[in-house]
Amino acid sequence: MNLAYAAVIVTIAFTVISQLLQKRVAHQCASSKANTGLHWYLQQPTFWLALACLSIGMLFWLYALTMLDVSKAYSLLSANYLLVPLFAQIWFREKLTSLQWLGIGALIVGLIMIGRS
């Protein structure tokens, strides 16, 4: 059981890191002067790192799902909706208003309710 929770935590960590890396590489694409299409991404180590993190996260997610109740696992995963904006604020200096945090709060409560239903 503890292994299952550990797997969920690893899933959360890797998917959050993947999102931050995706934002980083997308921002680099937007600010580069070259005319960039999707093929540009394939040449970026950051893109492959983001994809690797996402894949590792998914593998741990499948592993967690074999041991843990789906609804409980999904409720735990809603932590992503708090962590991604939190780290985006720190790393990319994005700003959220209190109304937007309220929106995130409502969303997470909604996700937990779905988990309990």
Partner 1 sequence: MLRKHIQLGWVAASIVLVSAAQLLLKLAAQNIDSITFATVIDALGTRNSIYLISGLCCYLISMACWLKALEKLPLSTTYPLLALSYPLVYLGALALPSLHETFNMLRLSGMLLIMLGIVLLAPRASTRFDKK
The residues of the shown chain that bind partner 1, judged by CB under 8 A, are: 19-20, 22-23, 25-27, 29-30, 38, 41, 47, 51, 54, 62, 65-66, 80-81, 84-85, 88-89, 92-97, 99-100, 102-114, 116-117
Put residue 32 in one of left, alpha, beta given phi > 0 → left and psi -120 to 50 → alpha.
beta
Provide the minimum distance between the beta carbon of 13 and partner 1 in the complex, in angstroms, as a whole number: 15
Provide the minimum distance between the beta carbon of 86 and partner 1 in the complex, in angstroms, as a whole number: 8
Provide the minimum distance between the beta carbon of 58 and partner 1 in the complex, in angstroms, as a whole number: 9
The tokens describing 38, both together, are: 């999707």
Question: Please, are residues 85 and 104 in contact by the beta-carbon 8 Å criterion?
Answer: yes
User: Residue 96's CB: how many other CB atoms inside 10 A?
Assistant: 14
Question: What beta strand segments (E) does 7-66 contain?
Answer: none
Report the residue number, 26 or 56, with the smaller CB distance to partner 1: 26
Alpha carbon distance 47, 24 (integer Å)? 9
Report the residue number, 11 or 80, with the smaller CB distance to partner 1: 80
Report the residue number, 6 or 113, with the smaller CB distance to partner 1: 113
Alpha carbon distance 58, 38 (integer Å)? 23
Provide the minimum distance between the beta carbon of 2 and partner 1 in the complex, in angstroms, as a whole number: 21
